[in-house]
A and B are shown apart, each in its own frame.
Chain A
Amino acid sequence: MLEFKLPDVGEGMHEGEIIQWLIKEGDAVKQDQPIVEVQTDKVNAELTAPAAGVVRKIFFSEGDIVEVGTTIFTIQEENDMPATDTGIIEEEIQVVRSDDVKVNAEHITTKPHHEAVRALATPFVRQMAREMKVDIEKVKGSGPAGRITESDLKQFKENNSITRENANQHDDKIVQEMAPMKDAIQAKGVENEWEERIPLKGIRKKIAEHMVKSVSTIPHVTHVDELEMDRLKEFKNQLKEYSDDKDIKLTFLPFFVKAIVIALKEFKTLNASIDEKTKEIILKNYYHIGIATNTKEGLIVPVIKHADQKTIFELADEIRQLAAQAREGKLSIDQITGSTFTISNVGPIGGMHATPIINYPEAAILALHKMEHRMVVRDLEGVIRLMMNMSLSFDHRLIDGVTAVHFTNRIKELLENPIRLVVEMR
């Protein structure tokens, strides 16, 4: 016996009125033969027999209002006998009841039921959605059979944040979606037209995550000292002609890199990192120096690999190339990873002191500040010297204050006496 339940012939219909029965109890009917006419608030629908057989029972009269899902008639199927198990194969296509409905109003389309059940996505994609705070049921899948892929999620997230930024340029629907957010902001007493909200993404997001990780993992201490730069400047000037010949623009930075590498070889814990998992200190016998560089996108740290094996001129050339590539956004991953110690050269822009944040998982970072003529005391007399400050932030788990001071003292010694720097260079 087949029970025919009133289907949802429109979207979200709850009940319908029986307008007219086209058969009576006891009639033999063919499959797809019209049986009953039903009126909903949207359409008139003619419902047809799901199978051939005899109409056994009609449960409602014309004019009755019936809830969706209620059995309205039963059919004794022609071959209504217990299903036999052939033991071999059973393949059946059973038509969804609502597909048997022929709807008079053509513009109404019925929605396949399964769409509403569950978004198709793998457990990993679902986890990703949770992490991205995306309601996966709202994402349209582009994969086979409408499966939601990782890139669907990313695109959804991106589009969503874009539409929120420019809500006023879009249609009413999006403005409606915005309304709860606006309400929430206003409820907090924020005048949202005075502020602009930009999603934290791309390089800025990476920088943010990296900084948080560094500060929350590494206990930072910053130590500041000053350097007298007159002799180094003089030394650099003496090399100018030579460097001009080689078409190399010589700055102070290669000298700093050299001095730092020499000091790092003597103070190994400054060129190290901590392996959190194994609780081991990793001392590195290679010297890859990161140079924090300002770009349009934000801070990028190109790396000079094996800085200890390069000459001043080689370093100068490489720094120039890396900086140009960084500004054009053309650095490869290899060029921005693997540093063992980082220099932040903020001097050309200005400033006296800083508390630089260590480039996780390194052990220290050195910021070099503005060079300027300052009055200093030498041999109990005030004299004018070209001075520069440097700020060293270091991982206090690994490095004691005394070590840090010895380290900067050594750099100071080398930079203030370029002859010594040259002598110590390999």
Chain B
Amino acid sequence: MVVGEVAVETDVIIMGGGPGGYAAAIRLGQLGKSVVLVEKDKLGGVCLNRGCIPSKALIHAADQYQRLNDLGKMGIRLSQERTTMDLGVWQEWKAGITSQLNQGIAHLCKENGVTVVKGQATFLSDDRIGVETDGDFETYKFEQAIIATGSRPFIPSFIKVDGEYILDSTSSLQLQEVPSSLSIIGGGYIGIELGMAFAKLGTKVTIIEMANRILPQVAENLVKEVTRNAKKLGMNIKTSSRVEKASVVDGQVHLHVSSEKKGTEVVVSEKTLVTIGRIPNTEEIGLNRAGVTVSEKGHIAVDIECRTNVPHIFAIGDTTPGPALAHRATKQGIVAAEVIGGVPSAVDSPYVPYVIFSDPQIAGVGLSREEAEQQGYSVKIGKFPFSANGRALATNETEGFAEVIVDANSHILLGMHMVGADASNLIGEGVLALELAARVEDIALSMHPHPTLTEGWMEAAEAVLGHAIHIVNN
């Protein structure tokens, strides 16, 4: 700090321009606050630039590529020429998408009076931050601050990401060519999403997961279809296995994998992707100088208004304990902004939906059957398979089912889960139903459009009541 420096004064500083940070900035602008949003890289954060959006662009491209194989049975004959995937062209397409979204956010920030500063922000005290930009250093004095610095992939100490042979989720989405073989450390949702996409593009994929099944965070019955499909795609899945050592030998990655069943074996692949979790970016932002306390795992504890232990400093998104999901960050960002703006607001809903872009997709909200039972509910369950849905058959997407979990006493919905085509979009109905404290009858009695996959929810709800139309009620 320079003696006599002049700090720029603002009502609110936001550290981080991801989906939580920029939403908070825009909401604060709407509420008439002066806002400085500091982002070291690009607006939109991991979600837009290196996560949700680019990965969905890859998954979509891979789906289209694979779908060509199924066209034959619908009578569509392709020319004899072999279909190929040019990942370089895909990269350009992806860059177009992210840049359009970047510009959109920048425009919204501008229109809402948000000052966007590019640089690395650190707390200097509990009412000042410093921002380093291209060798310059500016200080800002704030009334309130929101920490929205997000998270990054966790990489264990025995392995080093080089971006060429050993990749994290970010560098895997920057490949210019489809790798011939790819081993993925971690069978969580990122590993499965990217693994299935590359497998569809022709990569030989091996998944190495420590738990006894892939997607261990998700209820087991929802994962079966995905496991089956992964095997159909030729993916080699090694569960209850751990990687002991990784090395690059002659342009190939050698992973030493140990398991009780098989002892130690070496998995050789062109590239390796490490996706075993994420850690919050809370170490290098001077939280101690602001007096904000951090857990051992680096998370910042917050109350339902997103306040940290320092009442005028808020934290949102992946820096706080809970699932690292963009929509959770956005909700928290809006709540923090409203609390600062004097609007009574709180993150008080347990209904955080999850969406996994595996094949088929998995999505859900609320309690799983096991969780509901553990919480002492009497549970009724209704299931409806996609194979009994006309639209699913007509679009050749018959895998999966809709499942509703209901309190047997009150018939209030406790959870709605789905595995199947477009589950990511269909779960919206579940979120709304649970938030509105709907009974299973509310879903069953609502007219659902035909022919659509949404009928699956209606039939699953009717199944709970014992009168589904398109399946035999036991």
Which residues of chain A have a CB within 8 Å of any CB of chain B? 85-99, 112-114, 117-118, 120-123, 126-127, 130-131, 133, 144-147
Whether, in the assembled complex, B295 has its beta carbon less than 8 Å from a beta carbon of chain A, the answer is no
Cα–Cα, bound, A94→B414 (Å): 14
From A85, A89, A95, A126, B378 is in contact (CB under 8 Å) with A95
Whether, in the assembled complex, B464 has its beta carbon less than 8 Å from a beta carbon of chain A, the answer is yes
Contact present for B410 and A85 (CB under 8 Å):
no
Nearest CB on B from A121, distance (A): 7
Stretch at the interface among B34-42, B256-264, B340-348: B340-348
Give the residues in chain B near A95, CB-CB below 8 Å: 378
Contact present for A93 and B378 (CB under 8 Å):
yes
Contact present for A90 and B224 (CB under 8 Å):
no
Main secondary structure of the interface of A (DSSP, over half): loop
Whether, in the assembled complex, B177 has its beta carbon less than 8 Å from a beta carbon of chain A, the answer is no
From B346, B407, B471, A88 is in contact (CB under 8 Å) with B471
Give the residues in chain B near A120, CB-CB below 8 Å: 412, 437
- Most A CB atoms within 10 A — which of B346, B410, B411, B435? B410
Contact present for A88 and B435 (CB under 8 Å):
no
User: With A120-B437, A145-B410 known to touch, is A89 a contact of B468 (CB < 8 Å)?
Assistant: yes
Give the residues in chain B near A118, CB-CB below 8 Å: 350
Cα–Cα, bound, A404→B381 (Å): 73
Chain B residues 373 to 389 lying within 8 A of chain A, measured CB to CB, are 373, 375-385, 387-388
Contact present for B410 and A94 (CB under 8 Å):
no
Contact present for B346 and A114 (CB under 8 Å):
no
From B346, B375, B380, B435, A93 is in contact (CB under 8 Å) with B380
From A87, A130, A144, B385 is in contact (CB under 8 Å) with A87
Contact present for B348 and A126 (CB under 8 Å):
yes
Whether, in the assembled complex, B349 has its beta carbon less than 8 Å from a beta carbon of chain A, the answer is yes
Nearest CB on A from B233, distance (A): 21
From B349, B350, B409, A114 is in contact (CB under 8 Å) with B409
Cα–Cα, bound, A145→B471 (Å): 28
Whether, in the assembled complex, B212 has its beta carbon less than 8 Å from a beta carbon of chain A, the answer is no
Whether, in the assembled complex, B446 has its beta carbon less than 8 Å from a beta carbon of chain A, the answer is no
User: With A85-B224, A145-B410, A146-B410 known to touch, is A91 a contact of B350 (CB < 8 Å)?
Assistant: no
Cα–Cα, bound, A133→B375 (Å): 29
Cα–Cα, bound, A93→B387 (Å): 25
Given A85-B224, A123-B436, A126-B348: 10 more A-B contacts, CB < 8 Å: A87-B401, A88-B385, A91-B381, A97-B376, A99-B378, A122-B436, A126-B349, A127-B344, A130-B344, A144-B439
From A90, A98, A123, A146, B381 is in contact (CB under 8 Å) with A90
User: With A113-B375, A130-B346, A145-B411 known to touch, is A91 a contact of B380 (CB < 8 Å)?
Assistant: yes
From A85, A87, A92, B380 is in contact (CB under 8 Å) with A92
Give the residues in chain B near A96, CB-CB below 8 Å: 376-378
User: With A114-B410, A131-B344 known to touch, is A123 a contact of B377 (CB < 8 Å)?
Assistant: no
Give the residues in chain A near B410, CB-CB below 8 Å: 114, 145-146
**Shortest 4 CB-CB contacts between residues of A and residues of B:** A113-B376, A130-B344, A120-B437, A145-B410
Cα–Cα, bound, A130→B439 (Å): 24
A-B contact pairs, 20 of them (CB 8 A): A88-B471, A88-B474, A89-B383, A90-B382, A90-B383, A91-B381, A91-B474, A92-B381, A93-B380, A97-B376, A112-B409, A113-B377, A114-B407, A122-B437, A123-B435, A123-B436, A127-B344, A145-B439, A146-B410, A147-B437
Give per-residue flags for B345-360: 1 if the beta carbon is below 8 A from chain A beta carbons, else 0. Answer: 1101110000000000
Give the residues in chain A near B310, CB-CB below 8 Å: none
Nearest CB on B from A234, distance (A): 55
User: With A96-B377, A99-B378, A113-B376 known to touch, is A89 a contact of B384 (CB < 8 Å)?
Assistant: yes
Cα–Cα, bound, A99→B466 (Å): 24
Contact present for A91 and B375 (CB under 8 Å):
no
Cα–Cα, bound, A293→B46 (Å): 61
- Most B CB atoms within 10 A — which of A89, A113, A126? A89
Give the residues in chain B near A123, CB-CB below 8 Å: 349, 435-436
- Most B CB atoms within 10 A — which of A91, A121, A122? A91
Which residues of chain B have a CB within 8 Å of any CB of chain A? 221, 224, 344-346, 348-350, 373, 375-385, 387-388, 401, 407-412, 435-437, 439, 463-464, 466, 468, 471-474
Give the residues in chain B near A88, CB-CB below 8 Å: 383, 385, 388, 471-472, 474
Nearest CB on A from B126, distance (A): 27
Cα–Cα, bound, A97→B381 (Å): 18
- Most A CB atoms within 10 A — which of B349, B378, B401, B436? B378
Cα–Cα, bound, A117→B367 (Å): 12
Give the residues in chain B near A144, CB-CB below 8 Å: 439
- Chain B residue with Cβ nearest A132: B344
From B221, B345, B407, B437, A121 is in contact (CB under 8 Å) with B437
- Chain B residue with Cβ nearest A128: B344
Nearest CB on B from A132, distance (A): 9
Contact present for B471 and A94 (CB under 8 Å):
no
Nearest CB on B from A148, distance (A): 9
Contact present for B472 and A89 (CB under 8 Å):
yes
Give the residues in chain B near A89, CB-CB below 8 Å: 382-384, 463, 468, 471-474
Give the residues in chain B near A146, CB-CB below 8 Å: 410
Cα–Cα, bound, A86→B407 (Å): 22
From A85, A98, A130, B345 is in contact (CB under 8 Å) with A130
- Chain B residue with Cβ nearest A92: B381
Give the residues in chain A near B376, CB-CB below 8 Å: 96-98, 113-114
Contact present for A94 and B437 (CB under 8 Å):
no
Cα–Cα, bound, A127→B411 (Å): 24
Contact present for A145 and B412 (CB under 8 Å):
yes
Cα–Cα, bound, A244→B164 (Å): 102
Nearest CB on A from B163, distance (A): 42
Contact present for A93 and B408 (CB under 8 Å):
yes
User: With A89-B468, A120-B437, A145-B410 known to touch, is A94 a contact of B344 (CB < 8 Å)?
Assistant: no
Give the residues in chain A near B436, CB-CB below 8 Å: 122-123
Give the residues in chain A near B471, CB-CB below 8 Å: 88-89
Nearest CB on B from A212, distance (A): 14
Give the residues in chain A near B378, CB-CB below 8 Å: 93-96, 99
Give the residues in chain A near B409, CB-CB below 8 Å: 112, 114
Give the residues in chain B near A131, CB-CB below 8 Å: 344
Give the residues in chain B near A145, CB-CB below 8 Å: 410-412, 437, 439
Contact present for A91 and B466 (CB under 8 Å):
yes
Give the residues in chain A near B375, CB-CB below 8 Å: 113-114, 117
